[in-house]
Structure 1
Amino acid sequence: MQTLSDILTRDVKSCIAEDNIYEAAVKMKSWDIGAIPVVSNGQLIGIVTDRDLVIRAMAEKRPNSTQITEIMSHELITATPDMSVDEAAQLMSQNQIRRLPIVEGSKLVGMCALKDLAVRKSYDEEAEEALSHISEDKAGHQHPTAH
């Protein structure tokens, strides 16, 4: 059985709780990523996505100096390194998420993206199914950003 520890990304880019939304956006651009975990003293406290920046910051006309903790998602779906890849694919599909923080206790130890699941040949079907569920809205239409 393949576990997340076999495929997770360990060199995770993150923000700290003291960062503001401008700093988060610059980091996303610089690192070419769409989601950044937020940590405090090594502990995962949230995650901020490019969508959070648009919906919770720009659309609400918040100043760039707004602390990232004001717009980040606090209720997180996480996994542990010993979780099977199959369980992770199911968890991501059920919760319609593309990125899964991997924690030991509350310490961030890695990230697993849907694409990480897709590169494992034996799990292509699960990852493809998860992506199709995530990329469709309730009416069954694909979102324009789905690839």
Structure 2
Amino acid sequence: MKVKDLMTANVSCCQPNDTIQRAAQLMQSVNCGSLPVCENQRVVGIITDRDIVLKAVAAGKDVHTKVSDCMSRKVITCSPDTDAHEAADLMAQHQIRRLPVVDTSGRLVGILAIGDLATVDIHVNEAGDALSRISERTQSQSAVH
């Protein structure tokens, strides 16, 4: 099965010059925890609710802080024709839960979430395995000292 068969095609995104307040409002309106950051429909970053909390709120920055000041710039993507198994491996390898999907010209055409893999019977175990591998690092990093 290909990523294009599982991905969400209508993806909200924000721009680097948007404020983190605008990004948070978009996340609220579409009920998600991350947004691709795009310029000219090309992905240049990802911003998560966690990025906003840790890089802005915890640092005492205000709601007018630019998305570009908080976003992650290293973005792992795949194409619509990527095999779903390969996408799950990418998510596990890079410990990410969402994978922007871009066409051959680099334009955002969708997003694949770990939960999308779990909705298809043949990928349930693979999604669970990928989530376990993604969560391993997160759990070890959050150990209380």
**Which one has a larger percent helix, Structure 1 or Structure 2?**
2
RMSD: 1.8
Distance 1:141 1:46, change over 3 A: closer
| TM-score of the aligned structures, taking structure 1 as reference length | 0.90
> Which residue of structure 1 aligns with residue 44 of structure 2?
45
Question: 1-side partners of 2:99 and 2:137: how far apart?
Answer: 20
> Which residue of structure 2 aligns with residue 119 of structure 1?
119
Alignment of 1:1-147 (within 5 A): 2-104=1-103, 105-137=105-137
Question: 2-side partners of 1:52 and 1:142: how far apart?
Answer: 16
Question: 1-side partners of 2:140 and 2:69: how far apart?
Answer: 31
Q: How many residues align?
A: 142
Which ranges in structure 2 are unaligned for 5 or more consecutive residues? Answer: none
Deviation by residue 1:82-104 (Cα, 9 ceiling, x = unmatched): 10000001110111110000011
| TM-score of the aligned structures, taking structure 2 as reference length | 0.91
Asked whether the equivalents of residues 135 and 142 of structure 1 are also in contact (C-alpha less than 8 Å), the reply is no
Stretches of 4+ aligned residues off by more than 4 angstroms: 140-143
% same residue = 42
